């Protein structure tokens, strides 16, 4: 005999913009360190890796709130549709 499955826990709330900001700051620190160290000309591509990390982090900080707002709107629409469907079911019955 199997035990009944427990319900899934609610999604964990996190501050994703803060996480992106921390990663962006880490790439910025790495860039400053590499600029101070003065890499040989053959290893200068590491500077561009840091610049790319900073650019991606800035994009993430810009995009994440928009993504979360879109998901919240979609969830509200789905909840409203479920409520409308429930109302139709009670009126029909």
What pLDDT does 85 receive? 73
Mean pLDDT calculated for residue range 11-39: 95
Find the distance separating the first CA and the last CA of the chain, reported in whole Å: 37
Buried/exposed code over 4-19 (b: 16+ C-beta within 10 A; e: otherwise) = eeeeeeeeeeeeeeee
pLDDT at 9 over 70: yes
What pLDDT does 65 receive? 96
Mean pLDDT calculated for residue range 67-93: 82
Query: Is-contact 28 21, C-beta < 8 A?
Result: no
pTM: 0.74
């Amino acid at each position: 005999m199997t035990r009944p499955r427990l319900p899934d826990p609610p999604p964990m709330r996190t501050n994703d913009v803060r996480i992106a900001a921390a990663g962006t700051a880490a790439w910025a620190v790495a860039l400053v360190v590499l600029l101070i160290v003065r890499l040989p000309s053959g290893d200068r591509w590491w500077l561009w890796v840091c610049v790319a990390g900073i650019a991606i982090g800035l994009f993430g900080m810009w995009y994440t709130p928009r993504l979360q707002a879109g998901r919240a709107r979609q969830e509200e629409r789905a909840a409203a549709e479920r409520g409308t469907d429930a109302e139709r079911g009670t009126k029909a019955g």
